[in-house]
Structure 1
Amino acid sequence: MRFDNQVAVITGAGSGLGRAYALALAERGAKVVLIDNDISGLESSHKAVLALGEQSMVFKLDVSNIEGVKDAVTQIIELWGHIDILINNAGIHSTCDFDNLTIENWQLQLNTDLNGSFYMTKAIWPHMKGRGYGKIVMSSAVSGLYGDMHETSYSASKMGLIGLVNSLYLEGMDYNISVNSLTPHAVTSMTAHKLAPSVKPLFSKTSITASMLFLCCADSPTGQHLLTAAGSVSHGQFAEFKPSYFPAGSCKPETILSSWQQIHQAQPANLHRSGEEQVLVWARRGAGEHHITIE
């Protein structure tokens, strides 16, 4: 799998997974654009890319700076003419109990992880549409998918990216633009303190960079969510458990309370491709009682 003559933009490329993504793409022939707020990390990643014999652009940039993002994209297009791949990897992380979570910290988290990804995607999107090709990867986190103690702002920002993928990929299909999410977990400066020494060797970046490259290749799927860590790769999707139907007039809060054990995780689970599909299913469930025919 090669990426010759393709231009890849990677945010948070100064260290950790962002650096690994940049090097993996450069090793396979891509020109890489390195974006980070840490100049020393950027310089190190830049030298590593050049050592592989590939071209690189560097931007010391906070992705929450929308004007800076627009300017960077303009410079990339002026130099290389196109952008084929965008990996929204930049993020910050700090744990805080909800009582002590300030509005400023909440906004900082969302501005970096969620808004920063939106700003980059928004700036690059028209260029991908114009060429009829593009690969976009959003970097989520297990705390976003499942939640964790003292992770409310982090979880909210990362889960927001899942919603962004779920709708944006539909708009990209007519323009050959794939939009997916990757939920990785590897030993980095952000995660090292959460892993026991005995299991740290398991959490290498190998399966993660392989999954990233897969999502960036010409034959990648779209609208999908991959989870990868410790050598495993899996596909995730929101599931709705088997519904319990209550006739009109009988669905009261007391009824739901008494039926909760029946409702909770009732099998089988159902998967829906879109919000519209879920609404249609709801409509069909209730239509029979009211003698309504749905085509």
Structure 2
Amino acid sequence: MSIRFDGKVAIVTGAGGGLGRSHALELARRGAKVVVNDLGGDRTGAGGSSDAANKVVEEIKALGGEAIANGSSVTDDQGVENMVKQTMDKFGRIDILINNAGILRDKSFSKMTMEDFQLVVDVHLMGTVKPTKAVWEIMKSQNYGRIMVTASSTGLYGNFGQTNYGAAKLAVVGFINTLKLEGQKNNIHCNALAPVAYTRMTSDLMPPEAEQMLTPESVSPGVMFLVSEDAPTGMILCAGAGVFAAARMEEAEGIFLGREDLTAEKVAENWGKISDFSNAAPFFMGGEQTGKFFKLATGGK
């Protein structure tokens, strides 16, 4: 099995360095035409420069690939519109969107300002929603699309000092959980990546020796599969240091406690059964949970 992207056009946001650069280069090596988007700000979102995106474009061209740079902010409606227009004018189609752009403004919740919370949510959540919205109808008309969002273990499990980041990163999982359903009939597959990598954003959060193991290049192979023709849909892939693991949300089987004389005390008394995950199962859509509730509440009828 050989994964190739010949004839495919990919947009990678936040591709001026780190994970985004690695994804963009690997797409190009495998034949894709790549739009390298990067605002060029620092990890807090301040500043801006086209230098980083242009350097990655030059790297791709040196490999014999085809690429263009774009400096739009993923939070700016007009900028996102211009990015998509630039892509369509140059290449005529958009097959792959990798939502990778992000910033950090870490502080404990007590010390975090609402401005820092809002900005991180805007970049990670709305900075994923806006490019996805901009390419959605194009992908539908093509009857083909592969969309990847970048989640995080912070969103899945939590990390101290990252309430803003965690809220946004779990939100993008919720986003693709519905997109996977709406995109099915048009062959649009939507997946999430939860990476661990030593990059400019994380360099002061990890010991220096982690740099040798947690390379962006040890994550990108998983991304190539998630945006390939044979990609699954609705999956969360955790990746780092060459290790790959699928993650999922599960729900305990639960029990029916009746609707008469139902009290908080009854819930407390049965908490062991309510929280028993020995027969837990994932759902592909929310309606499956409703079906389970009806089944339990009616004795299986």
Work out whether the TM-score is over 0.5: yes
TM-score, with length taken from structure 1: 0.94
Counterpart amino acid of residue 16 in structure 1: G
Q: 1:164: how far off?
A: 0.7
1:50-199 to 2 correspondence within 5 Å? 50-199=61-210
How many Å separate the matches in 1 of 2:23 and 2:294?
A: 44
Counterpart contact for 1:8–1:30, Cα < 8 Å: yes
Q: Aligned-pair distance for 1:186?
A: 0.9
Identity of aligned residues (%): 35
Kindly state the Cα deviation for residue 194 of structure 1 after the two structures are TM-superposed: 2.5
**Counterpart-to-counterpart distance in 2, 1:250 and 1:262:** 19
Offset of 1:148 from its aligned partner?
Answer: 1.3
- TM-score normalized by the length of structure 2: 0.92
Contact 1:33 1:56 in 2 (8 A): yes
Q: Is the 8 A contact 1:34 1:56 kept in 2?
A: yes
Residue aligning to 1:4: 6
1:261-276 mapped onto 2 (5 Å cutoff):
261-276=272-287
State the distance in 1 between where 2:150 and 2:293 align.
Answer: 31
Tell me which of the two structures has the higher relative contact order, counting C-alpha pairs closer than 8 angstroms and 6 or more residues apart: 2
List runs of 5+ in structure 2 lacking aligned partners.
Answer: 41-49
- Whether the aligned pair in 2 keeps the contact of 1:207 and 1:233 (CA below 8 Å) is no
Q: Is 1:42 aligned to residue 44 of structure 2? A: no
Question: Which amino acid in the other structure matches residue 4 of structure 1?
Answer: D
What is the match of residue 35 of structure 2?
33
For residues 104-137 of structure 1, the C-alpha deviation after alignment (integer angstroms, 9 at most, x for no partner) is 2222111111101110000011111111111100
Gaps of 5+ in 1: none
Tell me, in whole angstroms, the C-alpha distance in 1 between the residues paired with 2:227 and 2:153: 21
In 2, Cα distance between equivalents of 1:132 and 1:262:
45
| Distance (whole Å) between structure 2 residues aligned to residue 34 and residue 198 of structure 1 | 29
Measured in 2, the distance between the counterparts of 1:109 and 1:135 equals 25
Secondary structure of the structure 1 residue equivalent to 2:289: helix
Q: How many residues align?
A: 290
Deviations 1:219-270, CA, capped at 9 Å, x for gaps: 1111111111122111111001231331222431122223334433442212
- Secondary structure of 2:207's counterpart equals coil
Match among 212, 224, 238 for residue 223 of structure 2: 212
Note closer, same or farther for the CA distance 1:43–1:276 as it changes in structure 2 (3 Å cut): same
1:202 and 2:213 aligned: yes
Deviation at 1:76, TM superposition (A): 1.2
Q: Is the aligned partner of 1:243 residue 2:265?
A: no
| Match 2:244 to one of 214, 226, 233 | 233
DSSP 3-state at the match of 1:269: coil
